[in-house]
Structure 1
Amino acid sequence: MNGLALHDRPSDAAASWRIALPHSAAAVPVARALVRTALAEAEHGADSDTAELLTAELVANAVEHTPAGDAPIELVVELRPGGCQIEVHDHDPVPPGDLTRPSAGDPDPWQEHGRGLLLIRSLSSSCGHRPTEQGKAVWFRLAVIPPQWRPRQS
């Protein structure tokens, strides 16, 4: 599948997008842009900055930790009444590190890597992974920010 496609939505999704991304670092800014655009166009109440950051982490992990090949990575964005769910699908069935509880010890502050799953666990309302027919999907959810907590637009 090439390009962006609105696909059949789960019953609780207000809007849903799926896009095939290249298995390269170029996928990260494309994924961030799609999430930013989806949240802005739908005037959705989830925090766009956090959604972009966590999406970038998932896509970067998929590029770095799965074997390169002809199979693309897929990004799925679902906007729901209570928030959004973002998934990254890849063709490696091996699950990511533990998304549900902290790993032993803190990340080394001098290393460039090792904080992605910590960010996802800390900033999302929930996260996890599931097997798919072609590999796995790693996902996170963000709740809608109540209007009174949103920054005022000038």
Structure 2
Amino acid sequence: MPPRPPASWRIELPHTTAAVPVARALVRSALAAQEHTADCDTAELLTAELVANAVEHTSGDAPIELVVELMPTACQVEVHDPDPAPPGALTRPVDIEPDPWQEGGRGLLLIRALSSSCGHRPTASGKAVWFRLPVVPAQRRRPA
């Protein structure tokens, strides 16, 4: 079967925690609609982390933007926010382990550990933080 052509979704989300479940649902729906084979659970988890970080670590009430791109070999998710400052330790190892008694501090670690690649880039209105997940070969997929 020939590979599917790339597909993408772009949506503005409110600068509130209500954006997290909406973002998860969009990623889940996009992957299902395209019968894309990136790991949906991991995509949802990492999307939730990016959106939660954008809401928690940027000020103001400007919306954030979610971009989902499904390519033949990968799924890429970006979250755009108005703060130009790069995210903490997204692309470099951290010497300090997260405090097991604290609720936060693991999001960027999860993104680094579970994605095939991740990063950030400046945009005209702030920055975009992204991760990429590869497609899962048929022999490694869970049965439906």
- Which bracket does the TM-score occupy, shorter chain normalised? over 0.9
Question: Where in structure 1 do 4 or more consecutive aligned residues deviate above 2 Å?
Answer: none
User: Aligned-pair distance for 1:99?
Assistant: 1.3
**Deviation at residue 104 of structure 1 after TM alignment:** 1.7
Name the TM-score, length of structure 2 as normaliser: 0.95
CA RMSD across the alignment: 0.8
SS of residue paired to 1:30? helix
Q: Which residue of 2 aligns with 1:9?
A: none
1:101 Cα deviation (Å)? 2.1
Residue in 1 that maps onto 2:44? 52
d(CA) in 2 for partners of 1:26 and 1:68? 15
Residues 58-103 of structure 1 deviation map (CA, whole Å, 9 limit, x = unaligned)? 000000000022x210000000010110000001101101212221
Question: Identity of paired residues, percent?
Answer: 75
The higher-RCO structure (CA 8 Å, 6+ apart) is 2
Structure 1 residue aligned with 2:28: 36
1: CA distance between counterparts of 2:24 and 2:82?
Answer: 21
Correspondence for 1:18:
10
For structure 2, the residue ranges without an aligned partner over 5 or more in a row are none
Opposite residue 57 of structure 1, the aligned amino acid is E
- Aligned to 1:120, the other structure's residue is in SS state helix
Letter matched to residue 134 of structure 1: S
Aligned-pair distance for 1:134? Answer: 0.3
SS of the residue corresponding to residue 128 of structure 2 reads strand
Residue in 2 that maps onto 1:135: 126
Q: How does the TM-score come out when normalised to structure 1?
A: 0.89
1:54 maps to a residue whose letter is L
Question: In 1, distance between residues paired with 2:83 and 2:92?
Answer: 22
Residue identity matched to 1:119:
L
Is residue 2:64 matched to residue 1:73? yes
* 1:106 aligns to 2:94 (yes or no): no
Q: In the alignment, residue 10 of structure 2 is paired with which amino acid?
A: R
Return the alpha-carbon distance in structure 1 between the equivalents of residues 91 and 23 of structure 2.
24
Deviation per CA, 1:98-117: give whole Å up to 9, x if none: 21222121101010010000
CA distance in 2 between counterparts of 1:143 and 1:79 reads 10
